[in-house]
Structure 1
Amino acid sequence: MDAKVLTFRNNFSWTFFSGVFYAFSQWYIISIIAKLTDAETVGLYSLALAITAPIFLFLSMNLKSIIATDIQGETSFSKYFIFRFVTSSMALGISTLLLFILPFENYYKIVIFLVAGVKWVETLSDVCHGKFQQKENMRYVAISKCYRALFSIIVFTVVLWFTDSLILSLLFQLVSWLLVVLFYDFLKIKKDYSLSITKPSLNFFTFKKLMIYAIPLGIAMTLDSLHANLPRYFISFFNGEEALGIYAGISYIMIAGQTFIVSLSQVTIPRLAKYYITDLNAYKKLIGKMLFLAFLLGVIGLVVAILFGNTILSLLYSEEYIGYKNILILIMVTSIFWYMSGFLNAALIATRRFKIQIPIYLSSTLITLVLSILLIPLYALSGAVLALLSGHLLRFIFSLFMVNKAIKNNQYIH
């Protein structure tokens, strides 16, 4: 029998707490690496994320959202799971093969491989979260994320403190996250929803159908990751790993907020999917609330950056980051448009209009690419943030237009 469906307020509360805690843990990793090692190691960790994220995001294809909006049960969970297992294993294989091509020293390659392994484990957890989300039981998602966040904090504090090894820290993180998948996520799927994971079945026809259906979201998520990481690639090339470490540390303050936005979007997507079919006014009202919350969060971050920028950077990181207040302010301006377009993206996913994601993300990625090439060699970190800001502004405008169009059409896409 299915677990009890939580109220929207309870789901919001669970997601709020877990989103903040998980975002804190991700920031904490950057912070503890900066405090216990140096900016170059932060840059290496950031580079490993930048290399592996596009691969995993493309082959993950945002399957969690597809499951969450599958309110009519078009595909069984076992088929979704084996589809995710195969595509995630492909991503891990591609990441491993890429290491034989990249001109990095062995230490760099090991770090990148372990980051890829952590992401592989995360994708297995993610597909279970899609089912929890569909059933509007975000408590399970929240507890799973909190376990992973807590283990990350413990691992990077203890292991990095005693061994000074980023490799060992990542290895212990991978093992701890795998334990969460095996002994929490899988058990909840089996016990509370009576769904099979050990004996999944998926024929070639169904796999091909899911691939065709999901690939637009895979392309969109890859472009999204590429868009976020493009400035990092050019900073690394033109200004070096230390400058990349400074940029990564400051920009992660914005990324932490986006993690919170994504968490809130997960609560609303199943409800938006239902509203889009049954109650268009409720759909529009919920979007309005989401946009206001995103705008408020971004503005608060901007005000705090203006008033206490250097103090925050010195407290969160180290003295190396003092003097970059203007970069932090630009980052927080960027966050306003990023947060709002994140909620608009959730509204579009709820309509299951997956193909429209491609032109939205492609346009923002292209403008960021062009401006990164033009501005970073001249203005370094300021140029990087301005390029990113331009891309997110365009994405917000394009997304708002497409949501309005979807409301006018009000036609459910299967």
Structure 2
Amino acid sequence: MLRFGVNYTPSQDWFYSWLAPDWSVTRRDMDALAALGMDHVRVLPLWPLVQPNRTLIRHTALDDVRRVVEIAGSAGLDASVDVLQGHLSGFDFVPSWLANWHRRSMFTDPDAVSAQSLLVEAFEEHLHDLPNFLGLTLGNEVNQFASSLHPHQMQATTDDVTGWLRALHGSGPRDARHFRLNAEYDAVWYADGHPFVPAHSARHGRMSVIHSWIFNGTAQGYGALSHESVHHAAYLIELSRAFALALDRPVWLQEVGAPLNHLTAEEAPDFCERTVRAAADCDALWGITWWCSHDVERRLSDFPDLEHSLGLIDADGVVKPIGRRFAAMAAELRDRARPEVRTEAVVVPVGSDDVPLSRAELSPGGGVFEAWMDRARKGARPALVTSTAASDPSALSARGIQRLVHATPTGHTYYSSVSDAEVLERTAAHAGQ
């Protein structure tokens, strides 16, 4: 069964609602999502509220998270929970013991890594017995903190990231029914020099996780309703599979949305349907979790404007046309027959360490991206494989690949890992002061 759910954005007070939860609002929200036909929600607490001091984990905050999962269960919804938030909707939520006078890298400082590991285990201990609990994601796109573009970069090497992931994954969940995952934004696939590499996403945890957003240069380079935009999520799913060692490793499309800084409200439902149909044609897909459940209220300030329009349900509780379309896709595709194995693959050139020789060539505008999209446009249902697998007949046979496509490098990319022009303009203005 293909899973369909939403990233839960509380309808009242956004994620600031964790400061003083109103359980009647939570119940109303969960009932509305269940009525749409969703089967799960992704719950995102705020890290500084749960672990305000390196050696203080607030059990009241853990109780609040547990209560949200329980309320979801009462509505008939399963729930996954993120641990390190981290980053949400253009805002960073980093505890004070990692910032300013206490600044240290969350990826390399031994005390900081130990504290995060303890927090992961505290969440596990607090939630593992709930019947609707799916598992933990370590954090939401925290690889952005290691990016050279971040205004307060936390330095880390690729080896440092590997050590950090091993420490936080530990021995994994105590219950075999649950997962423990890590989730990166797309710099892991597209940005050369980024310390998080494809193997980190595709080889740690029980599933690979994809976050697909077309404001990364795809919409700008090709158009918001272009073939490339509506197949971007499917491309990332197949790209993730290329780096997985286990052939049956599932991929979770954990975030995908319809950003109205490129689409119109009228175009959003069609974008949703075409994106979901393309992704559902990937046989490794575990589920699709839309970003997000509810629009951010307009009374809240300083959000990138698109954040006020990403919900399936508006701030007044009215289901939007995109919400009805996603619900229809869930009803139609949840029990779809498993797609056939893809027999053609575009080759991703990698080095001896399995890091792409050029991640820019994998990105929108790059040669690998263009070759895959061209073949998909022609109805070929392409996969992707690394050059390591492409040179091994047994590896190709195991994947069912009968034909290889070698891309011509373009030396070009549309990719931008900063999604909102307002953020860039504001940062530049501050830098010039």
Common fold by TM > 0.5: no
More RCO (CA 8 Å, sep 6+): 1
Structure with a larger share of its residues in strand: 2
- Please give the TM-score of this superposition, normalised by the length of structure 1: 0.29
Larger fraction in helix: 1
Q: TM-score, normalised by structure 2?
A: 0.28
